[in-house]
Structure 1
């Protein structure tokens, strides 16, 4: 039984075989600590490495019915969507349809400082544009849905936070602009581009950017986190945020996926598999050290490339939206994927440092994360998830 009184399903499947007994026990302890501390209804964890495989679905998928969480269930990946949007842009760069040093004003009018903001700056969050998801106009529509013109119009009204190229500042608006760029330069809507350029080539069967509703189909897990739910507070059925539509997140955070699909995507993302080598070399050059508001990623070292995060040689993405928090990271040198999903927000221990704790349990503390296992598992995040 978990701390939430739910069923615990754990399946250590194999490709390379199970982790050794001591490491397996350590990983299970970390997963248990993560769930008990955050009091999240469900936790999905996937580890695929040369040292062994660990896949677990711990807890409850639906607090109303008590249905157990399963490892094949779909969930909202939130801002992990950005890695897909960025990859589409980089594909277009490789095709000569877009240049990294183009200004966004070439494609979209009405953008503050648009004649000085480059595509590169949008990709690595140095555009100086505001986050803008907090726009009162957008927030008023989150429960009913937004059109793309509504999003871009409302976001353009929020003043920039810095001149272009002068600081790192996370911008959901910037990624919605990139989504529109994909449509204009690529000649197809963003949802179709995701399917034709990424999902189908990689065989991702349950990964999509919804065109209506929340995008989830059975089997899926519910997600919890509405109102003033605390980082260490257990949600109730009334905190169910699953039904919220995805359209107000669009190119920056609306996609859904599964553990198995994200495992495949993480490897393609972190190796530039869908990109021309020269474009991938540019995407990984000179990543920018960053710190999220509220120290969301914990006290370790993190860097941002052109559409992905990096820590200790692992490359991937992270996402957080009402009901769901997740991170998926792949190390090309270690040939290892680690995924963490919580079906609640906010969490006192967030998925990014949780991933670091799991990696250190397998490979030791010398990875280069810039923190100890104890620091990674400390319940430090107190703010609302971003």
Structure 2
């Protein structure tokens, strides 16, 4: 869980549409978006979704698909509530920056200045917590977490899950997604503001923006227009548990509608929440000492897709995956909320990719052209090795040393994480590069519309894969 087979006969795909006239010169390909989103929901077995596109500040497309619950559930509406998961982190990061602007904290100070009893408090800074570069271990790791996370828990018990553990790496040296950092940032907000985290967000963000009463997973059972979370278990769609607000908290406990996120997104960028300088800090990638750019700022991923700059975040919980993605070059924001919690792949992010491809097919076609000088033998070795990672077994397409490590237990995680993607439908060669004495070959593997992974390999003297990376 990250606070990050067709369903025949179940997915009714009831459609609710708000007709919106676009003031833009380019027509909105609404029919194509409808068709492709509907096909994706069937492909992933998603009960319901809500999708919105804003261009140059104007909403140009809003549509609700499918059901809030199955079987026979009421249809999703554009104003249906969804868990937004880790999109919550934007709110936490903005609150920290508000407090910095007020002179109550500094993001480059040690955590110990604000929470002296926190794990490794003297070793990590607030900036490292904000950018997932602290090295603090993930508190949501561990067996049975999906069931545990539905139960009440106190903060001391949560933090005790990681307190005895060493740092995973020296702070600032690498990037590794860690909800622990945002759990601690929530406590920093409380320590320096004198308010609970929830009260701070209500008083300093929700009230000033006119968003009304803040809703979290705690209120979920009492919201009449709330989507019900689902996930697949052994291929069957089942209701998922509700992640406890104590567990998710500043890392992912908000429940919102499309319209709420539209107000939030516009306000954050326009200076209504934090200053322009603070927003630049949120959207500036952290540079790690070992691996260069983390492609992550404060509560926001900062990278590219289809060769276009993209700033945003996904959200995943027990029964929901969501995505809120801004493309600055096109001044377009695409938001997709779904009530399916499967994370391999995440339906929310796939939908935003699909919608962007429908809006800008020429850009996507150009980005998907292969680089010249492809070696088809290397491509075949790479795709065969990737299938080994998905299926396990004897890892015959890997060199002896790496294959033995994967076969002796290291490969189990890849089977779990990559298997649900299914076999790649295409492998696009993106070029070769030299790293010291090693030559690497970069690919984008495709798994149907909107779903792709970066995959790089290097080959040993035997022609088999001796190293790989997945991004």
TM-score interval, normalised by the smaller of the two chains? 0.7 to 0.9
Q: How far off is 1:173 after superposition? A: 0.6
Report matched runs for 1:41-56 at 5 Å: 41-50=47-56, 53-56=60-63
How many angstroms apart in 1 are the aligned matches of 2:29 and 2:331?
18
Is 2:318 the counterpart of 1:322?
Answer: yes
1:9 alignment counterpart: 15
- Asked if 2 retains the 8 angstrom alpha-carbon contact of 1:269 and 1:316, the reply is no
Under a length normalisation based on structure 1, what TM-score does the superposition of the two structures give? 0.82
Is 2:94 the counterpart of 1:83?
Answer: no
Structure showing greater radius of gyration is: 2
Q: Deviations over 1:279-331 (max 9, x none)?
A: 22333334459xxxxxxxxxxx9921111123434322211011100011234
Q: How far off is 1:365 after superposition? A: 4.8
How many angstroms apart in 2 are the aligned matches of 1:40 and 1:248?
25
- Asked if 2 retains the 8 angstrom alpha-carbon contact of 1:82 and 1:251, the reply is yes
Q: Deviations over 1:168-220 (max 9, x none)?
A: 0111111000000011111100111111111122222364345x454761211
1:344 alignment counterpart: 340
Mark the CA change 1:190 to 1:11 in structure 2 (over 3 Å): closer, same or farther: same
Mark the CA change 1:355 to 1:271 in structure 2 (over 3 Å): closer, same or farther: farther
Q: What secondary structure, in the 3-state scheme, does the structure 2 residue paired with 1:16 have?
A: coil
Question: Aligned-residue CA RMSD in angstroms?
Answer: 3.2
Mark the CA change 1:221 to 1:271 in structure 2 (over 3 Å): closer, same or farther: same
How many angstroms apart in 2 are the aligned matches of 1:84 and 1:16?
30
Report matched runs for 1:1-386 at 5 Å: 4-14=10-20, 16=22, 23-50=29-56, 53-135=60-142, 141-205=148-212, 207-209=214-216, 212=218, 214=220, 217-225=223-231, 229=233, 233=235, 235=237, 239-241=238-240, 243-287=242-286, 303-310=295-302, 311=304, 312-332=308-328, 334-350=330-346, 351-366=348-363, 375=446, 377=449
Gaps of at least 5 residues in structure 1 are 290-300, 382-386
How many angstroms apart in 2 are the aligned matches of 1:354 and 1:324?
13
Gaps of at least 5 residues in structure 2 are 1-6, 370-424, 427-445, 454-471
Corresponding residue pairs, total: 361
Under a length normalisation based on structure 2, what TM-score does the superposition of the two structures give? 0.68
The structure, 1 or 2, with the larger RCO (C-alpha pairs under 8 Å, 6+ apart) is 1
How many angstroms apart in 2 are the aligned matches of 1:305 and 1:379?
24
1:293 alignment counterpart: none
- Asked if 1 retains the 8 angstrom alpha-carbon contact of 2:96 and 2:189, the reply is yes
